[in-house]
Amino acid sequence: MRALIVFESIYGNTRTIAEHVAVGLSDRFDATVVSVVDATPELVDRADLLVCGGPTHVHGLSSRSTRRAAFDGARKDPTVDVLPGAEGDGIREWLEHAAPRQGCVAAAFDTCVKAPAAFTGRASKRIARRLHRHGCTLAVAPESFLVDKQNHLLEDQSERAEAWGRSLAVAAAMYPTTPRR
């Protein structure tokens, strides 16, 4: 079975989590990790499991303005690197045009600052809602992975992502796959 993990990442944290989720899925799925700019309709159509992730900005999905603010902040801080290609569309825009199969099994994750969700919000919940509107079946509840206030992943988050990937693989394997178009 094939899993496609589509991520948006500005500083690299969400990409790192996506890569570790792929490791967790690897016992049951052939997992491909791609940036939103490389997530073609053909890749989506071939996936038995679609996993989408992005950073949490201003209580939800990033937007053009919040990404611009993140880039501006990175320019002022020489310790923060921006990923090449991160200045394009994000997961919000990609999901507007994505066309997963009706009944496609899916999951959502995000990265956010370690604080109560009431203060930070969770992009994963918004991603999950959009996947559901596209007709996807969510295999597990949305998940958040944590960064510190300097935008560095907390120490245990890579291991948590692999564990989440393993549990997602088990849950997703219980759903019948829908016929491809």
| Segment 95-120, tens digit of pLDDT | 988 878 788 999 999 999 998 888 88
Rounded Cα–Cα distance for residues 87 and 67 (Å): 7
Three-class SS of residue 56?
strand
Q: What's this model's pTM, rounded to 2 decimal places? A: 0.90
105 and 49 in contact (C-beta within 8 Å)?
yes
Domains assigned to the chain = 2-173 (3.40.50.360)
Rounded Cα–Cα distance for residues 77 and 143 (Å): 29
Write the DSSP string, 113-146.
Answer: ESS-HHHHB-HHHHHHHHHHHTTPEESS--EEEE
pLDDT tens-digit series, residues 2-30? 999 999 998 899 999 999 999 999 999 99
Q: Which residues contact 48 (CB under 8 A, 6 or more apart)?
A: 1, 2, 3, 29, 105, 172, 177
